[in-house]
Structure 1
Amino acid sequence: MRTFTSSMVLLAALISMPLQASPLSDARAAGKVTEEPSGYVKATANPSPGIAALVTDVNKRRREAYSRIAKKNGISVNQVAKESYVRRKK
Protein backbone atom coordinates (compact mmCIF):
# COMPACT_ATOMS: atom_id res chain seq x y z
CA MET A 1 0.00 0.00 0.00
CA ARG A 2 2.88 2.33 0.77
CA THR A 3 4.25 1.84 -2.73
CA PHE A 4 0.83 2.60 -4.20
CA THR A 5 0.63 5.81 -2.17
CA SER A 6 4.10 6.82 -3.31
CA SER A 7 3.19 6.08 -6.91
CA MET A 8 -0.01 8.08 -6.67
CA VAL A 9 1.89 11.02 -5.14
CA LEU A 10 4.28 10.87 -8.09
CA LEU A 11 1.35 10.68 -10.51
CA ALA A 12 -0.30 13.66 -8.80
CA ALA A 13 2.93 15.64 -9.06
CA LEU A 14 3.22 14.88 -12.76
CA ILE A 15 -0.40 15.83 -13.34
CA SER A 16 -0.09 19.11 -11.48
CA MET A 17 3.04 20.26 -13.31
CA PRO A 18 2.37 23.39 -15.30
CA LEU A 19 1.49 22.71 -18.90
CA GLN A 20 2.74 25.93 -20.39
CA ALA A 21 1.07 26.28 -23.77
CA SER A 22 1.04 22.54 -24.35
CA PRO A 23 -1.00 21.26 -27.26
CA LEU A 24 -3.21 19.30 -24.84
CA SER A 25 -3.98 22.30 -22.64
CA ASP A 26 -4.64 24.40 -25.74
CA ALA A 27 -7.01 21.75 -27.13
CA ARG A 28 -8.79 21.50 -23.76
CA ALA A 29 -9.16 25.27 -23.53
CA ALA A 30 -10.60 25.37 -27.06
CA GLY A 31 -13.13 22.67 -26.15
CA LYS A 32 -11.68 20.22 -28.65
CA VAL A 33 -10.62 17.65 -26.04
CA THR A 34 -12.23 16.59 -22.76
CA GLU A 35 -11.04 14.57 -19.78
CA GLU A 36 -13.06 11.40 -19.30
CA PRO A 37 -13.79 9.60 -15.98
CA SER A 38 -11.91 6.65 -17.49
CA GLY A 39 -8.65 8.59 -17.00
CA TYR A 40 -8.15 9.25 -20.69
CA VAL A 41 -8.89 12.16 -23.01
CA LYS A 42 -11.51 12.21 -25.74
CA ALA A 43 -11.83 14.42 -28.79
CA THR A 44 -15.10 16.26 -29.23
CA ALA A 45 -17.16 15.83 -32.41
CA ASN A 46 -15.42 15.90 -35.79
CA PRO A 47 -11.80 16.25 -34.62
CA SER A 48 -9.15 17.44 -37.04
CA PRO A 49 -6.40 14.94 -37.87
CA GLY A 50 -4.08 16.86 -35.54
CA ILE A 51 -6.47 16.62 -32.59
CA ALA A 52 -7.13 12.94 -33.30
CA ALA A 53 -3.37 12.28 -33.31
CA LEU A 54 -2.93 14.28 -30.10
CA VAL A 55 -5.64 12.26 -28.33
CA THR A 56 -4.10 8.99 -29.51
CA ASP A 57 -0.63 10.03 -28.32
CA VAL A 58 -1.79 11.35 -24.93
CA ASN A 59 -3.86 8.24 -24.25
CA LYS A 60 -0.98 5.96 -25.26
CA ARG A 61 1.40 7.74 -22.90
CA ARG A 62 -1.14 7.70 -20.09
CA ARG A 63 -1.82 3.99 -20.57
CA GLU A 64 1.92 3.27 -20.39
CA ALA A 65 2.24 5.30 -17.17
CA TYR A 66 -0.88 3.74 -15.66
CA SER A 67 0.41 0.27 -16.57
CA ARG A 68 3.74 0.86 -14.82
CA ILE A 69 2.00 2.09 -11.67
CA ALA A 70 -0.54 -0.75 -11.74
CA LYS A 71 2.13 -3.41 -12.16
CA LYS A 72 4.26 -1.93 -9.39
CA ASN A 73 1.29 -1.95 -7.01
CA GLY A 74 -0.49 -5.12 -8.05
CA ILE A 75 -3.69 -3.36 -9.07
CA SER A 76 -5.55 -2.93 -12.34
CA VAL A 77 -4.73 -0.33 -14.95
CA ASN A 78 -8.36 0.83 -14.75
CA GLN A 79 -8.03 1.52 -11.02
CA VAL A 80 -4.99 3.71 -11.63
CA ALA A 81 -6.66 5.48 -14.57
CA LYS A 82 -9.82 6.26 -12.61
CA GLU A 83 -7.80 7.52 -9.62
CA SER A 84 -5.84 9.74 -12.00
CA TYR A 85 -9.10 11.29 -13.23
CA VAL A 86 -10.25 11.93 -9.65
CA ARG A 87 -6.95 13.63 -8.82
CA ARG A 88 -7.01 15.70 -12.02
CA LYS A 89 -10.44 17.04 -11.13
CA LYS A 90 -9.33 18.29 -7.69
Structure 2
Amino acid sequence: MANTPQSKKRAKQNEARFAVNKMRRSRIRTFLRTVEEAIASGDQTAAAAALKAAQPELMRGVSKGVVHKNTAARKMSRLSSRVKALA
Protein backbone atom coordinates (compact mmCIF):
# COMPACT_ATOMS: atom_id res chain seq x y z
CA MET A 1 0.00 0.00 0.00
CA ALA A 2 1.15 3.54 -0.77
CA ASN A 3 2.57 5.29 2.30
CA THR A 4 4.23 8.52 1.24
CA PRO A 5 2.25 11.38 -0.32
CA GLN A 6 4.24 10.91 -3.52
CA SER A 7 3.44 7.22 -3.79
CA LYS A 8 -0.24 7.93 -3.06
CA LYS A 9 -0.30 10.46 -5.88
CA ARG A 10 1.47 8.05 -8.24
CA ALA A 11 -1.04 5.31 -7.43
CA LYS A 12 -3.89 7.71 -8.21
CA GLN A 13 -2.25 8.81 -11.47
CA ASN A 14 -1.67 5.18 -12.46
CA GLU A 15 -5.35 4.36 -11.93
CA ALA A 16 -6.43 7.31 -14.07
CA ARG A 17 -3.93 6.45 -16.82
CA PHE A 18 -5.00 2.78 -16.73
CA ALA A 19 -8.63 3.80 -17.26
CA VAL A 20 -7.75 6.05 -20.21
CA ASN A 21 -5.51 3.42 -21.80
CA LYS A 22 -8.20 0.78 -21.31
CA MET A 23 -10.70 2.95 -23.22
CA ARG A 24 -8.18 3.56 -26.00
CA ARG A 25 -7.39 -0.16 -26.31
CA SER A 26 -11.08 -1.00 -26.38
CA ARG A 27 -11.71 1.58 -29.11
CA ILE A 28 -8.88 0.17 -31.23
CA ARG A 29 -10.19 -3.37 -30.79
CA THR A 30 -13.66 -2.25 -31.86
CA PHE A 31 -12.28 -0.77 -35.09
CA LEU A 32 -10.29 -3.94 -35.75
CA ARG A 33 -13.37 -6.06 -35.09
CA THR A 34 -15.34 -4.14 -37.73
CA VAL A 35 -12.59 -4.91 -40.24
CA GLU A 36 -12.66 -8.60 -39.26
CA GLU A 37 -16.44 -8.73 -39.65
CA ALA A 38 -16.28 -7.06 -43.06
CA ILE A 39 -13.63 -9.56 -44.18
CA ALA A 40 -15.74 -12.43 -42.87
CA SER A 41 -18.77 -11.17 -44.80
CA GLY A 42 -16.70 -11.16 -47.99
CA ASP A 43 -17.54 -7.56 -48.91
CA GLN A 44 -14.30 -6.01 -50.15
CA THR A 45 -15.53 -2.41 -50.34
CA ALA A 46 -16.82 -2.53 -46.77
CA ALA A 47 -13.62 -4.20 -45.60
CA ALA A 48 -11.46 -1.59 -47.35
CA ALA A 49 -13.50 1.24 -45.81
CA ALA A 50 -13.29 -0.32 -42.35
CA LEU A 51 -9.54 -0.76 -42.76
CA LYS A 52 -9.15 2.84 -43.82
CA ALA A 53 -11.02 3.91 -40.67
CA ALA A 54 -8.98 1.58 -38.44
CA GLN A 55 -5.55 2.75 -39.65
CA PRO A 56 -5.53 6.20 -37.99
CA GLU A 57 -7.01 4.70 -34.83
CA LEU A 58 -4.19 2.18 -34.59
CA MET A 59 -1.57 4.84 -35.28
CA ARG A 60 -3.12 7.05 -32.61
CA GLY A 61 -2.73 4.14 -30.20
CA VAL A 62 0.95 3.97 -31.13
CA SER A 63 1.50 7.69 -30.55
CA LYS A 64 -0.28 7.47 -27.18
CA GLY A 65 1.84 4.50 -26.13
CA VAL A 66 -1.02 2.01 -25.88
CA VAL A 67 0.20 -0.21 -28.74
CA HIS A 68 3.77 -0.89 -29.83
CA LYS A 69 4.70 0.48 -33.25
CA ASN A 70 5.68 -2.90 -34.67
CA THR A 71 2.50 -4.52 -33.36
CA ALA A 72 0.37 -1.92 -35.12
CA ALA A 73 2.39 -2.28 -38.32
CA ARG A 74 2.02 -6.07 -38.21
CA LYS A 75 -1.75 -5.86 -37.66
CA MET A 76 -2.16 -3.35 -40.50
CA SER A 77 -0.05 -5.45 -42.85
CA ARG A 78 -1.94 -8.66 -42.14
CA LEU A 79 -5.36 -7.02 -42.37
CA SER A 80 -4.54 -5.19 -45.60
CA SER A 81 -3.27 -8.38 -47.23
CA ARG A 82 -6.48 -10.17 -46.22
CA VAL A 83 -8.61 -7.34 -47.62
CA LYS A 84 -6.60 -7.41 -50.82
CA ALA A 85 -7.14 -11.19 -51.09
CA LEU A 86 -10.91 -10.66 -51.19
CA ALA A 87 -10.67 -9.13 -54.67
- Shorter chain as denominator, the TM-score bin is 0.3 to 0.5
Quick check: which one's strand share is greater? 1
Larger Rg: 2
Quick check: which one's helix share is greater? 2
